[in-house]
Chain A
Amino acid sequence: MGKLDGKVAFISGAARGQGRSHALRLAEEGANVISIDACAKIASIPYEMPGLEDLEQTAAGVRAFGRECMTRQVDVRDEEGVIAAVADGVRRFGRLDVVLANAGVAPCSTDHDAWAEVIDINLTGVFNTVEAVIPHMVAAGNGGAIVITSSTAGINGVGGATRGGLAYTASKHGVVGLMRSYANILSRHSIRVNSIHPTGVRTPMVMNDAMAAFLEQFPEMQDQVSGNALPVDVIEPSDISSAVLWLVSDEGRYVTGITLPVDAGFSNKR
């Protein structure tokens, strides 16, 4: 008996990293999963993006738990694409209970286009995702839970002075505003909305050569991007999945409108 038996989850950025970890954890607890990911190179992003084979590997992981997984290669900037993926998923699985707006990029980049691309993906992408799921969840009338992946940079002014870093911090703060508004708007439908704020997590978005080179170039950033209070440098995707599971399962049934740090004390030190 899983905590999410019979439930359906939609996850953006599901090809790898935290998104994949969430997909597997929710499947382990009984949920069928609709997985989307851009799976494509993005101009201002200096690290490698996932490929379709990564998204397929997530699906295989879900199926290994005996659950079904629908995959779509969709960029969260593509409003129509997200709407179609959600509609296809709801048609296939018959319902939608859990939504994880997880897709995001973090270019510590001085590239001129970084600002607009990061805002489009990290902020407008979350808006597109939540807007696409609301009609289905409200019409079904059986409540639900939405979790938006923010960051410690969503509640602290960290991230540095580059166009990419500023955009990351601004977008991650921005989704807190979205979360709070949606939590208010959707509470009467018993749809809960919360944001999570991880410190550095061991994923390709963080553990890459571009990030390492950036930190070498701007050593003063080291304190901002690391520096947890608990004796740990980088936490694991599964740690974030534990928080997500608590929020979306019955255990979090009265938790809404909150910013939940999973940050080894990073924010409390600031």
Chain B
Amino acid sequence: MTALEGQVALITGAARGQGRSHAVRLAGLGADIVALDLCAQIDSVPYGMSTPDDLEETARQVRHLGRRVVAAQADVRDANGLAKVVAEALGRLGRLDIVIANAGIAPVATTADPQQVWQDVIDVNLTGVWNTVRACAEPIIAGGRGGAIVITSSTAGLKGAYYGDVGVVAYSAAKHGLVGLMRGFARDFARHSIRVNTIHPTAVNTPMVVNESWGKFLQAAPEAMAAGNALPVEMLEPSDISDAVAFLVTDSGRWVTGVTLPIDAGFTML
């Protein structure tokens, strides 16, 4: 009997990076998986976004662990589309217990129109999470078994950052906004035994961070480069974040709710 046997977890941004790591970890703990991702480029984003092949690879890894998977292309900015995909997934997997609202973009050092960058970041990173939780809350409540929602914020959700880069400040604003969303949802959903928490990773080794535009940004803003971790590590691995997610969504976190959980090698305390 594994920790999440019989449960269903929905993960946005599941095609690669942290999302894939979470999908595979939760499948390893026994959950069936709904893996959602845009799998398309957004014009203002200067690094390559995920592809349908990436999402299929996540699905393959989940199936390899013997769990069922519903993988679908879905845009978290599209509330109606998201609701439809969630309904379809529920039809196939029967229930929903866990949501990892993980989809996000970080278009730094981009040449795109600043107003568009702001709007895209807020739409995906903040409104996208609102849409995700709205689409998922009702089925979890209806299940009557409680559940766990984890929202992926960032160290930039606890500590301000601008460095003259609209992508950075929009990212920071959206990630701060998620804390407000989480705190509201956590209070409201507690009576249904649904727990809601945010996680705040420092830089993680994923394509969102390890790319050419991130290097350009750090070159342009050496003070951002200097804002390092306290522990002697430059970058965490996606699996480090999945460890925290697993703690939060399994019974080990059954009384943890309304919490902002940094996994940040001491970044925010410096």
Contact = CB atoms under 8 A, between A and B. Distances in A.
A24 B236 CA distance: 30
A158 to B, nearest CB: 15
Interface residues of B, number: 37
Interface stretch (B56-64, B124-132, B187-195, B215-223): B187-195
A269 B183 CA distance: 9
Contacts of B257: 229-230, 264-265, 268
B240 interface: yes
B244 interface: yes
A87 interface: no
B240 A254 contact: yes
A81 B101 CA distance: 49
Given A230-B193, A246-B247, A261-B256, A254 B186 contact: no
B114 interface: no
A267 B190 CA distance: 13
B266 A183 contact: yes
A116 interface: no
Contacts of A199: 255
Contact of A257 (B240, B246, B269): B269
A251 interface: yes
B233 interface: yes
Interface in A50-103: none
B261 A267 contact: no
Given A184-B266, A251-B247, A256-B265, A239 B254 contact: yes
Interface of A: 180, 183-184, 187-188, 190, 192, 199, 228-232, 235, 239, 242-243, 245-246, 250-258, 260-265, 267-269
24 contacts: A187-B232, A229-B190, A230-B193, A231-B190, A231-B191, A231-B193, A232-B255, A239-B255, A242-B251, A242-B253, A243-B247, A243-B256, A250-B243, A254-B202, A254-B263, A256-B231, A256-B266, A257-B268, A261-B258, A262-B255, A264-B257, A265-B190, A265-B257, A269-B187
* 10 residue pairs, one from A and one from B, having the closest CB atoms: A268-B258, A257-B269, A229-B190, A187-B230, A242-B252, A251-B243, A265-B257, A264-B255, A246-B247, A254-B265
Given A243-B252, A251-B243, A269-B258, 18 more contacts: A230-B195, A231-B191, A231-B193, A232-B255, A239-B254, A242-B253, A246-B243, A252-B243, A254-B240, A254-B263, A254-B264, A256-B265, A260-B256, A263-B256, A265-B186, A267-B258, A268-B258, A269-B187
